[in-house]
Every structure is written in structure tokens, then in C-alpha cells.
Amino acid sequence: MSSTLVGVSWRMFNAKQIEECREFVDILEVMTEELASLKSRQPLLEDYASVNKLRAHSATLSLGSTCHPDSWRLDEIRRVLVKYNLRSLSEHIAFVRSGQLDAWHLLPMPMIKESINILANNVSHIRDILNVSVSLENIVPLFRWADDDYSEPEFISAVIKECKASLLLDIENIRITCKNFNMDPYQFISKLPIESISAVHIAGGIVYLGRHRDTHSEDISYEVLELLAFLAKRVHIPEVILERESQLTSESLYSQLKLIRAALT
């Protein structure tokens, strides 16, 4: 069994720190939207891409919307994929907009069969257009729909199956969801199709207005590291990506990566 690759989500504001920790970073994930907006060359990303250690992640396609993603968004992503020779793309099990109304935030879909069909249709569409394999990520639901027919693990499992996608499992999102909706994260994970995991996201959030939030702004918690260790004992995790959307020092990044590696052993 090959070892797990441990990496970090690359953001422009953390590029220098990541470069400084380069020898400890096996793999990088980039936001396609950020990369599309950058005019300058990014040699670090090119280096990782050249050895197939760069992954594309997107958050604005709104695969849960009832119509196909905007073609201009797909064009921008395609340019990034071609430029870095990337063959896979991850997105979220969520909707962001409906028609002209844009929430600019990942929102949960009702967990019903109709939602699964919509996701499958949109995933098939982007797979055809972009010629990539697709991974889908679980989100933190900010609210619940009243007509849910599935539990969340059931819904994620059905989505992964119907979309013929792999699972990008965000274990911080599971920790937060279980805190907010009073569920057991270990049982939650046990009900997921963990054999379909292509990568794991890990991050640190905050508590605000009595709810746990997925802000990617804090250091990872021991609770989430325990979840990672629990998962690693059950299945081989190909890749673990640390998500961070606030500035951090290279020392902090190094210690976070070290904690992740320790949890995997």
C-alpha cells in the first residue's frame, strides 16, 4: 500500500510560507478560480504540476443548481486545467446560486432523489466538457430542508454512486456538522463509502452565534485529528490536504503538517 500524500491548499497569500515548507509538502491543491484570476506565473505550482502533484479544486460551479454551470466559468477552469495539465477536479455537493441570485456561499441541497439527479446531470456535464475525473466534497450545511428523505451519510453515498465520482471527504466539515446537528462523527464516517475516498480535507474552524463554522482560519483541532486517525485505520487515504484561508507562518504550517502525518501513522 502506498503512503498517504500530505499537502496544503495553495493560496496566494500563503504562497511564500508554502514555498519555505516545500520539502514537507507532498502535494498542492489550487482553487481554479484564484488561479484563473492570477496573471503572473507560479513556478512552484508548475513544479508540482510537472510531477502530477497538483490538484484542482473549485467552489463556484454550483453543481447543485437546477441548470448547468455557466459556460464562462467552465472556460476559465478549462484554461487552468490545460495550463497545468490537470486531469481531475473537485467540487462541492451544494448549490451556490439559482438563476441570477448568487449567495456566494455553499448551501445545502434538500436530501432528496431529485437533488441526486441534478448533481449527476451536472457532474456528467462538466466531465464531458472538461474531460476530467470528478471528486465531490461534503459541506457544512447551514440549515436543513424539511423534506429530506435521506440522512446525510446516505445522501453523500447515493450522490457518489449516481455521479460516478470519488469522494473528497472533508472531515472538519463532518466534525462541525455533527456538533451542530448533534450527531456522532464516527458513526457518520462509518456510513460513508470510504473506499471511494480520493482525498481528505482537514482544517480548523470557529464557534460563532452558538454554531460551529467551517472558516479554515484556525489550527486543526485534536478532535479532527482523532477523526483522521480513525479513518486512516479503516481505509487507505491517498491524499490529505490542509485547508487554510488565513495567514500562517511557515513554522505553523510545518507543525500542522507534522500533526497530520502523526495522525496517519
Partner 1 sequence: MKCFEMCKPSTHSQQDQPDNVSLGDRQRDVIRKILENQTQDTPRNSDLSLHVAVDAVLRKRAWCVSEAWPTLYGALGDKYEPLFRDYAALFPYPPASSAIDGYRFSFFLRSRVSLDSLTKTQILSFELLNVTKGGAWLRKRILPFAKAMWAEKEGMLIIGLRIKSSLCLACIVSMQRKPLLTIAKLAANHT
| Residue ranges binding partner 1 (CB under 8 A) | 31, 33-34, 36-37, 39, 59-60, 62, 64-73, 92, 94-107, 110, 114-115, 118, 142-147, 208-209, 211, 213, 245
* Shortest separation between residue 122's beta carbon and partner 1, angstroms: 11
Cβ burial of 122 (10 Å; 0-12, 13-18, 19+) is: buried
Q: Are 119 and 93 in contact (CB under 8 A)?
A: yes
**Which cell numbers hold the place of 220?**
486543526
Q: How far apart are CA 109 and CA 147, in angstroms?
A: 11
Nearest distance from C-beta of residue 23 to partner 1, angstroms: 27
Q: Please state the closest distance from residue 140 (CB atom) to partner 1, in A.
A: 9
Nearer to partner 1, 37 or 52 (CB): 37
Task: Please report how close the Cβ of residue 247 comes to partner 1 at its closest, in angstroms.
Answer: 12
C-beta of 61 vs 264, nearer to partner 1: 61
CB of 156 to partner 1, least distance (A): 18
Cα–Cα distance, 47 to 58 (Å, whole number): 21
60 DSSP 8-state letter: S
- Residue closer to partner 1 (CB basis): 78 or 92: 92
Beta bridge partners of 90: 57, 135
Round to whole Å and give the CA distance between 166 and 117: 16
Cell of 75: 472556460
Of 4 and 137, CB closest to partner 1 = 137
| Closer residue to partner 1 in complex, CB, 129/194 | 129
Contacts of 69 (CB under 8 A, 6+ apart): 61, 62, 63, 122, 125, 126
